[in-house]
């Protein structure tokens, strides 16, 4: 796999049983790239270690006053230099390729899992953790995958050099053979503590990232309640904890690095001291001592890769563990039926709650608990996080959750209470997979987006609102404008079943009434489920269902339930037992004329309540 061939046609099925198994799975998936990196690494390191032999050969040639041997030594050094340059270039090329392809594979896997889980992902894993995994963690995982081949090349080179020294000069070779394992394993007792400190740092950094992500997402609310300073202090404390953990981790790694310098230095001093004695006894030549000395000195280069692989594993292990935890999440499913083919049209039915949305009708669902409404809305789309063990939602008598994701989501569209607007033009925002039966203009009109178009036209250079740029998450728009654009996007898609969770909670009552009429007209003959407690929306529904504690408590039409069902009236009008006149949730102390108008909008006969 080359970088130009990315992304992968199929990133595969990862082993998510543990972080270590996930790293092994990634490495095995890139064996071709790993062997290339290993081969170029061997060329590079062996060329580096060939220099001492060339230098020693040249010194001995000068001692013996042999021009031919000196020329041969020069050729050997030149050849080693070419091998170093070419091997290092290709090693860097293949190592970076392994790094990027591993990171790209992880990103593809995360993107695929995110698409499968949808909005249920952030209910099961903090949004900040998902951000941390898909950014910094991906790089650290890629670092370990590419470092493995360079470490193996360095380790094999060290073995080759030690064996060669044993044959070249046994007396000094034995010293090197004993000393090198001590160099390689001397820092081993420090690695567990260094790993623990690195894990603590990563954990605290992840929590700080989650806090920052959540703070940014709720910045508008924080400003509204004056909570910026509170969250700033929290983030300052979290960042200071990350700094202290990073300093502790850095101290330990600096100690390991110092030992990596000290121990080879001690070995080098002993080799020189012992070798000088051997030269004085005429047991070895000066050139041989220079060769062994140079070899030991250059061994510190491949030995550094032992430290790097330890650091790479220490930093990538918690990252791999978090990535594996996210990738291990499964899309819940239940029910029975053939898992292939199209989902037939028909009634939408949830056996767990008893909720029935007849085909082609506008069904309004009233829940006393907003969280319960959100979970039920997601469940109707086939991807609620708490659906394990519950019977599947049925559409036309067929289990929805067991259908392929693209089939199920092509039939049922769920818009939650806090839809996200991506940055781009309005045309791009409305360019979604759709049936083609509903135009953008019709959807915008039904969602009462006239004032939004006027505002975008003023911001556009050419006065065309469709080409106006919408900032990330629509932050340049008001809450009501964002909500209406999101509704228009859902209407353009024109799915067989549209589930809306509080689609008009951020608009005024007059706009809400027109939206209710627009949605009803545009979705005529299509199955629509609206979770709401607004009397204006409820009064336009063909069927109203009251859900309490996860089960259907009453079914009817708005005006009938308002007068006959106290539990329904309690949710819709916020009525208590001591209240003599039922008031809507929109009412507040105001002149009688306006209150009468809102009672009429709520479907309450003023004469009956008088």
Per-residue confidence band for 49, with pLDDT thresholds at 50, 70 and 90: confident
452 pLDDT more than 70: yes
Q: What is the pLDDT of residue 231?
A: 72
Per-residue three-class SS string for 521-586 = HHCCCCEEEEECCCHHHHCCCCEEEEEECCEEEEEECHHHHHHHCHHHHHHHHCCCCCCCCCCCCC
More confident residue, 20 or 281: 20
Please report the pLDDT score of residue 332 as a whole number: 55
Q: How far apart are CA 319 and CA 206, in angstroms?
A: 10
Alpha-carbon distance of 466 to 476, in angstroms, equals 16
Tell me what pLDDT residue 128 has: 60
Lowest pLDDT segment from 277-286, 440-449, 470-479, 490-499: 470-479
pTM, two decimals, is 0.66
What values do phi and psi take at 387, rounded to 5?
-85, -5
pLDDT at 130: 72
Between 552 and 308, where is the model more confident? 552
114 band by pLDDT with thresholds 50, 70 and 90: confident
Query: What is the structure's pLDDT at 200?
Result: 83
pLDDT for 499 equals 94
CA separation for the pair 410, 390 (Å, rounded): 23
Mean pLDDT of 348-375: 90
d(CA 68, CA 66): 6
Q: What would the two tokens of residue 520 be?
A: 């009803």
In the chain, where the domains are located: 12-327, 348-609
Structure confidence at residue 545 (pLDDT): 94
pLDDT exceeds 70 at position 590: no
Query: Taking a C-beta distance cutoff of 8 angstroms, is the pair 487, 515 a contact?
Result: yes
The values of phi and psi at residue 475, to 5°, are -65, -20
Q: Is the peptide bond before 438 cis (omega within 30 degrees of 0)?
A: no
Over range 9-34, report the average pLDDT: 89
Tell the burial category of 32 from Cβ atoms under 10 Å away from its Cβ (0-12, 13-18, 19+). Answer: exposed
- Mean pLDDT of the 396-423 span: 80
What average pLDDT does this structure show over 428-439?
87
pLDDT-derived band at 489 (thresholds 50, 70, 90) equals very high
Q: Which of 136-145, 357-366, 518-527 has the lowest mean pLDDT?
A: 136-145
Q: Which of 135-139, 330-334, 378-382, 430-434 has the lowest mean pLDDT?
A: 330-334
% of residues, the chain, pLDDT over 90: 21
Which pLDDT score is estimated for 355? 92
Q: Domain 12-327: which CATH class?
A: mainly alpha
pLDDT at 528 over 90: yes
Instruction: State the maximum Cα–Cα separation within the chain, in Å, rounded to a whole number.
Output: 124
Res. 336: pLDDT tops 60: no
pLDDT band at 576 (very low <50, low <70, confident <90, very high): low
Model confidence band, residue 337 (pLDDT cutoffs 50, 70, 90): very low
pLDDT greater than 80 at residue 16: yes
Contact 26, 316 (CB under 8 A): no
pLDDT, residue 120, reads 65
Stretch 138-148: mean pLDDT:
89
Distance between alpha carbon 572 and the CA centroid of its chain, in Å?
39
What is the pLDDT, as a whole number, of residue 364? 94
Residue 593 has pLDDT above 50, yes or no: no
pLDDT at res. 422: 81
- The closest alpha carbon to 297, from 213, 179, 471, belongs to 179
Is the pLDDT confidence value at 326 over 90? no
294 compared with 439, residue with greater pLDDT = 439
Q: Is the pLDDT of residue 583 over 60?
A: no
Tell me what pLDDT residue 344 has: 65
Return the pLDDT at 467.
Answer: 86
Q: Which CATH architecture has domain 348-609?
A: 3-Layer(aba) Sandwich (3.40)
For 25-70, what is the HEC assignment?
A: HHHHCCHHHHHHHHHHHHHHHHHHHHHHHHHHHHHHHHHCCCHHHH
- pLDDT given for residue 389 in this prediction: 62
Mean of pLDDT over the chain? 81
- Report the percentage of the chain scoring pLDDT > 70: 85
pLDDT greater than 70 at residue 609: no
Res 404 pLDDT > 60: yes
Per-residue pLDDT at 386 exceeds 60? no
Angle in degrees, CA 234, 238, 242, rounded to 5: 170
Q: Which one has a higher pLDDT value, 398 or 409?
A: 398
**Which of 110 and 403 is assigned the larger pLDDT?**
110
Q: Name the band, by pLDDT with cuts 50, 70 and 90, for residue 228.
A: low
Residue 538: per-residue pLDDT: 93
Secondary element (H or E) of residue 412 = strand 412-415
Whether the per-residue pLDDT at 595 is higher than 50: the answer is: no
Confidence class for position 56, pLDDT limits 50, 70, 90: confident
Q: Are the C-beta atoms of residues 390 and 595 closer than 8 Å to each other?
A: no
Q: What is the pLDDT of residues 60-89, one digit of tens each?
A: 888 888 888 889 989 989 999 999 999 999
Whether the predicted pLDDT of 319 surpasses 60: yes
Which is higher by pLDDT, 535 or 291? 535
């Amino acid at each position: 796999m080359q970088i130009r061939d990315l992304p992968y046609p199929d990133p595969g099925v990862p082993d998510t049983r543990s972080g270590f198994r996930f790293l092994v799975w990634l490495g095995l998936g890139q064996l071709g790239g790993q062997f290339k990196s290993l081969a170029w690494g061997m060329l590079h390191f062996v060329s580096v270690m060939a220099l001492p032999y060339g230098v020693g050969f040249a010194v001995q040639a000068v001692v013996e006053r042999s021009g031919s041997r000196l020329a041969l030594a020069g050729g050997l050094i030149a050849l080693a230099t070419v091998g170093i340059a070419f091997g290092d270039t290709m090693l860097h090329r293949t190592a970076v390729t392994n790094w990027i392809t591993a990171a790209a594979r992880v990103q593809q896997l995360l993107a695929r899992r995110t698409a499968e889980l949808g909005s249920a992902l952030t209910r099961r894993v903090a949004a900040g953790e998902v951000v941390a995994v898909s950014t910094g963690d991906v790089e650290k995982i890629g670092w370990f995958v590419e470092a493995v081949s360079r470490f193996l090349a360095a380790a094999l080179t060290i073995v080759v050099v030690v064996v060669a020294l044993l044959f070249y000069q046994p007396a000094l070779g034995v010293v090197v053979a004993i000393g090198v394992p001590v160099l390689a394993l001397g820092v081993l007792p420090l690695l567990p503590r260094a790993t623990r400190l690195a894990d603590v740092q990563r954990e605290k950094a992840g929590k700080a990232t989650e806090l920052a992500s959540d703070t940014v997402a709720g910045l508008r609310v924080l400003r509204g309640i004056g909570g910026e300073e509170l969250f700033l202090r929290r983030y300052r404390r979290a960042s200071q904890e990350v700094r202290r953990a990073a300093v502790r981790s850095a101290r330990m790694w600096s100690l390991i690095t110092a030992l990596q310098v000290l121990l080879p230095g001690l070995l080098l001093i002993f080799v020189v001291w012992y070798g000088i004695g051997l030269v004085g006894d005429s047991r070895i030549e000066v050139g041989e001592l220079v060769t062994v000395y140079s070899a030991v000195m250059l061994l510190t280069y491949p030995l550094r890769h032992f430290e790097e692989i330890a650091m790479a594993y220490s930093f990538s292990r918690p990252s791999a563990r978090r990535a594996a935890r996210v990738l291990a999440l499964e899309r819940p499913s239940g029910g029975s039926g053939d898992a292939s083919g199209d989902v037939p049209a028909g009634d939408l039915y949830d056996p767990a709650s008893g909720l029935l949305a007849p085909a082609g009708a506008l069904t309004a669902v009233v829940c006393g608990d907003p969280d319960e409404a959100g979970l039920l809305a997601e469940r109707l789309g086939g991807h609620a996080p708490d659906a394990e063990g519950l019977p599947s939602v049925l559409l036309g008598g067929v289990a929805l959750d067991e259908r392929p994701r693209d089939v199920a989501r092509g039939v049922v569209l769920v818009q939650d209470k806090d839809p996200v607007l991506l940055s781009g033009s309005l045309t791009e925002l409305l360019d979604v997979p759709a049936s083609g039966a509903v135009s953008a203009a019709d959807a915008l009109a039904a969602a009462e987006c006239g004032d939004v178009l006027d505002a975008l036209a003023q911001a556009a250079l050419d006065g065309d609102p469709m080409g106006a740029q919408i900032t990330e998450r629509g932050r340049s728009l008001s809450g009501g404008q964002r909500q209406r654009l999101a509704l228009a996007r859902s209407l353009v898609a024109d799915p067989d079943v549209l589930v809306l969770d509080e689609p008009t909670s951020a608009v005024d009552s007059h706009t809400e009434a027109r939206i209710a009429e627009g949605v009803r007209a545009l979705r005529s003959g299509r199955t629509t489920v609206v979770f709401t407690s607004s009397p204006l929306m409820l009064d336009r529904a063909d069927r109203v269902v009251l859900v309490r504690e996860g089960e259907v408590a009453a079914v009817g039409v708005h005006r009938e339930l308002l007068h006959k069902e106290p539990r329904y009236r309690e949710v819709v009008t916020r009525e208590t037992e001591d209240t003599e006149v039922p008031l809507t949730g929109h009412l507040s102390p105001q002149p009688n004329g306006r209150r009468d108008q809102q009672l009429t909008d709520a479907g309450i006969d003023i004469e009956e309540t008088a």
